[in-house]
Structure 1
Amino acid sequence: MSDNKFETDAIRTQLERSQFQEHTTPMYVTSSFVFDDAEDMRASFTEEKIRNIYSRYSNPNTTEFVEKVMKMEGAEDGYAFATGMAAVYSSFAALLSSGDHIVSARSIFGSTHTLFTKYFPKWNIETSYFDINNPDEIESLIKPSTKFLYAETPTNPGVDIIDLELLGKIAKKHNLLLVIDNCFATPYIQQPIKYGADLVIHSATKLMDGQGRVLGGIVVGNSDLIREIYLFSRNTGPALSPFNAWVLSKSLETLAVRVDRHCENALKLAQFLEGHEKISKVKYPFLKSHPQYEIAKKQMKLGGNIIAMEIKGGIEAGRNFLDAIKMCSLSANLGDTRSIVTHPASTTHSKLSEEERLAAGITPGLVRISVGLENIDDIIQDISQALNN
């Protein structure tokens, strides 16, 4: 572990300089690497000698990005992927076997839910869901075949908070692998490994990049588990490109200052929305009205940049709100410098049944706001005029 502070590691963790003595790490846009002789090549492929062979396996830019996130999360090892969903799928696929069982929070990203309910059952892998508002039911879902305990916190899109300390204790008691999607919080806000997580997953596309430019994903954690994920991914090929790794590594240098402003803006917007006549409910982790406010304050440094609000009038009111937006973007992304509004019931989670949406806390009028870095007065003005339209 480094003795430096978070912000310093984000900036000063970099590759050794080449003979050109560059100040910032260059891009290594190459598909493969050359060997000195036959013995060098043999030793490299048998891993007697650890070095770059092929960019599907590793690349200097990818290595730098992974090392930064490892330091930020307090992890032993990591592997980077082309997307966040590649990270989610590969982490499970590498470690699960036919007959295994997953216990997961019900409030998870739509594509992850689809993996658990449509694709994993093909390989005889089952998933049981627990209600994030009733964590006491977790232990009743655990079977002899249960291997994983999985959750996102804050959740997508309802920004509910799950007690990481409680999950860590349950996982340890039942000898389960605890996997946490930390995308909404980033390692700047919380580090699940401190609470017993074995693996931490991020969609780097979101706040890690922070500017809507590239796709990427990463998993960090226990070195033995990462080794299995690496071997699986080395053969299946979901690797992060060197260019995207370079962009993401540079983006991490400003993660702290960006997230500080994101959270400052989000809290001010949430406070403005609370009590608004067109809003029946506002959920933001650092509002005292949030059901899990005390847990959020315990495990999070800041409240994040996502707000969930319930507009009175259901699906049509949600769609009308989006149509009235002028400045904020209508986009499927989040964690951008630009504020983004989404109506999950008619977009990101529209393929779920109404029953599944309601079980995950996705009500008809729920709107998710990814609060950006624009001036907060301009953000509030746009949201306000859309609500009053």
Structure 2
Amino acid sequence: MMKMKKTNNGTKAVWAGEKDYLVHGATQVPVVLSVAYGYDDMDEWYEVAVGNKKGHIYGRNTNPTVQAFEDKVKALEGAESATSFSTGMAAISNTLSTFLLPGDRIVSIKDTYGGTNKIFTEFLPRLNIEVVLCETGDHEMIEEEVAKGCKILYLETPTNPTVKITDIKRMAKAGHDVGALVVVDNTFATPINQNPLELGVDLVLHSATKFLGGHADALGGVICGRKELIEKIYHYREINGATMDPMAAYLLLRGMKTLHLRVKKQCENAMKVARYLQTQELVEAVFYPGLETHPGHEIAKKQMKDFGGMFSFSVKGGVETMRQLLPKLKYANRAANLGAVETTVGPSRTTSHVECTPEERALMGIPEGLVRYSAGIEDVEDLIADLEQAFQSVSSEAKV
């Protein structure tokens, strides 16, 4: 018998997770909006309700459209199991709440997404959970803190918005040496560019709102990993109620069919635009792991297939220059989102870290004039020309 070749992620993005949910000869997964599912056989109903038989009983628990979405992400990440949430932050908060108890200790990095950082600095300490935030990229410091003992080691790589890189394989070993769960937010990388489970982590999560959906029209979050871990998270989520909406699941499923193509183009555009920005007089620094000047470039090359569609840059003149520059861009939404087919830009103080004070952002190494740039799928020549006219306009106004 001929051995089947391993299916690549581009094909999985189109086909994975859908076959079991197609009905009446349809080629697309339907949107199932029913809240409840009826049974004439009382024993069968019971078996489904207690999880002994496949099926659905109530929409807060499971839904066919939502399950198809979970199965597709599970296939892309190479996981045993997955469960979804109403938003990316729900995925993060529910996961942490599932495993952390008063008196526990969690180790993470300073450069996580602003909402995640607020959980670490504001909400977990209220529950008498010790939170240690290490300098991102200081692997020795992280290892030292982890060696003191922790319940969870939580990482985000690349980080939002400074796109710093952490060595996943090295950190997974450090966490497992003390029996910690290792969790990685893979939103920026996507399963196309990086698969943390293959590098040894226990759980990988995404804000599906971003690259997975790719069209800025559906909220969602998802977490993947070993079945016994996902079952615990699912149980917490089903009781606490942060359930993904079936229509959102449908939109995310549809978006993911082009994930491989979109991400490939976004990576290509990000690299070319980042290199262009390095040549601009008004630009102080460009932060993109694909650039040889990036401190995490070598680690990124080792653990990523490509460097992602996200980067950030700082401008001379800080906030004032940024205020003048961004409104002049014709081919960029100025909005608090990322990963969409359209290019999206914005300062971190109104996007990723709007919840934080200027002082908190400064401690995380985020300048007030930092611009987060999410490359879309437009022709890159137009994106560069757009930036060129914006820079020229700002420079001309400065000389008047």
Q: TM-score, normalised by structure 1?
A: 0.96
Q: How far off is 1:283 after superposition? A: 1.4
State how far apart, in whole Å, the 2-side matches of 1:248 and 1:350 are.
26
| Equivalent in 5, 8, 16 of residue 5 of structure 1 | 8
Letter in 2 for 1:25: V
Structure 2 counterpart of 1:32: 36
Deviations along 1:279-301, one digit per CA (max 9) or x if unpaired, are 11111111111111111111111
Q: How far off is 1:193 after superposition? A: 0.6
State how far apart, in whole Å, the 1-side matches of 2:71 and 2:385 are.
41
State how far apart, in whole Å, the 2-side matches of 1:371 and 1:87 are.
25
Structure 2 counterpart of 1:214: 218
Letter in 2 for 1:211: H
State how far apart, in whole Å, the 2-side matches of 1:220 and 1:2 are.
24
| Equivalent in 158, 172, 176 of residue 168 of structure 1 | 172
State how far apart, in whole Å, the 2-side matches of 1:180 and 1:2 are.
28
Q: How far off is 1:67 after superposition? A: 1.0
State how far apart, in whole Å, the 2-side matches of 1:47 and 1:2 are.
33
Q: How far off is 1:248 after superposition? A: 1.1
Q: How far off is 1:365 after superposition? A: 2.2
Letter in 2 for 1:153: T
8 Å contact from structure 2 (residues 143, 171) kept in 1: no
Pairing 1:88–2:124 present: no
Question: Counterparts of 1:211-360 in structure 2 under 5 Å?
Answer: 211-345=215-349, 347-360=351-364
State how far apart, in whole Å, the 1-side matches of 2:341 and 2:225 are.
28
Pairing 1:153–2:157 present: yes
State how far apart, in whole Å, the 1-side matches of 2:234 and 2:132 are.
27
Structure 1 counterpart of 2:48: 44
Structure 2 counterpart of 1:67: 71
Figure out how many residues of one structure are paired with residues of the other and give that number. Answer: 389
Structure 1 counterpart of 2:397: none
Structure 2 counterpart of 1:103: 107
Q: How far off is 1:19 after superposition? A: 5.6
Q: How far off is 1:340 after superposition? A: 0.9
8 Å contact from structure 2 (residues 287, 294) kept in 1: yes
State how far apart, in whole Å, the 2-side matches of 1:177 and 1:231 are.
18
Change in CA separation of 1:144 and 1:348 when aligned onto 2, cut-off 3 Å: closer
8 Å contact from structure 1 (residues 75, 193) kept in 2: yes
Letter in 1 for 2:332: C
Letter in 2 for 1:4: T
Q: How far off is 1:178 after superposition? A: 0.5
State how far apart, in whole Å, the 2-side matches of 1:133 and 1:363 are.
18
Q: How far off is 1:346 after superposition? A: 5.1
Deviations along 1:139-167, one digit per CA (max 9) or x if unpaired, are 33237661111111110000111111111
Change in CA separation of 1:296 and 1:341 when aligned onto 2, cut-off 3 Å: same
Deviations along 1:100-147, one digit per CA (max 9) or x if unpaired, are 111011101111111111111221112110111312101332376611
Change in CA separation of 1:17 and 1:329 when aligned onto 2, cut-off 3 Å: closer
8 Å contact from structure 2 (residues 22, 29) kept in 1: no
| Equivalent in 366, 379, 400 of residue 362 of structure 1 | 366
Letter in 1 for 2:324: N
Change in CA separation of 1:263 and 1:135 when aligned onto 2, cut-off 3 Å: same
Structure 1 residue matching 2:35: 3-state secondary structure: coil
State how far apart, in whole Å, the 2-side matches of 1:46 and 1:69 are.
25
Structure 2 residue matching 1:142: 3-state secondary structure: helix
Letter in 2 for 1:8: T
- The farther-off stretch of 358-367 and 159-168 is 358-367
Q: How far off is 1:17 after superposition? A: 6.0
Change in CA separation of 1:350 and 1:25 when aligned onto 2, cut-off 3 Å: closer
Structure 1 residue matching 2:276: 3-state secondary structure: helix
Q: How far off is 1:377 after superposition? A: 1.5
- The farther-off stretch of 182-191 and 347-356 is 347-356
Structure 2 residue matching 1:307: 3-state secondary structure: strand
Aligned alpha-carbon RMSD (Å): 1.7
Change in CA separation of 1:208 and 1:159 when aligned onto 2, cut-off 3 Å: same
8 Å contact from structure 1 (residues 28, 61) kept in 2: yes
State how far apart, in whole Å, the 2-side matches of 1:2 and 1:74 are.
15
Q: How far off is 1:2 after superposition? A: 9.0
Structure 1 counterpart of 2:390: 386
